[in-house]
Amino acid sequence: MHCSLYIYYRVNGNFLPFQQASARLMAEVHEKLRITGRLLQRRDDAQTWMEIYEPVTDAAALQQLLAEGVAGDPCWQGVSRHEEWFVPLPAEMSQPIA
């Protein structure tokens, strides 16, 4: 079963280094795992960002690659990245309620 990974974090006022670091990380994920990431910014708070990775079939490989990428980039030092994992609803729950 595939899953989706949502990572949110706060960046400081200098957005460019974080945008570049996120782009590098997403490019590496795509190159090695063929997962396309998306970067979003919170609508009412420009400093809260979210990376979305989906569909993920090997969660352990993605977590390891992201951890290595973050650890190897000084831009991420002191930034708390929060992961949230989601899976599709079971078939019996995804049917409309009559």
Summarised one tens digit per residue, pLDDT across range 26-55 is 999 999 999 999 999 999 999 999 999 999
Half-sphere exposure of 42 (CA within 13 A, CB side): 12
Band (pLDDT 50/70/90 cuts) for residue 91 is confident
**Element (DSSP H or E) covering residue 29:** helix 15-33
CATH number listed for the domain at residues 9-88: 3.30.70
- What average pLDDT does this structure show over 1-17? 92
What pLDDT score does 1 carry? 76
Q: pLDDT-based confidence at 12, cuts 50/70/90?
A: confident
Are 55 and 4 within 8 A, CB to CB? yes
**pLDDT bracket for residue 96 (50, 70, 90):** low
| Residue with the larger pLDDT of the pair 81 and 1 | 81
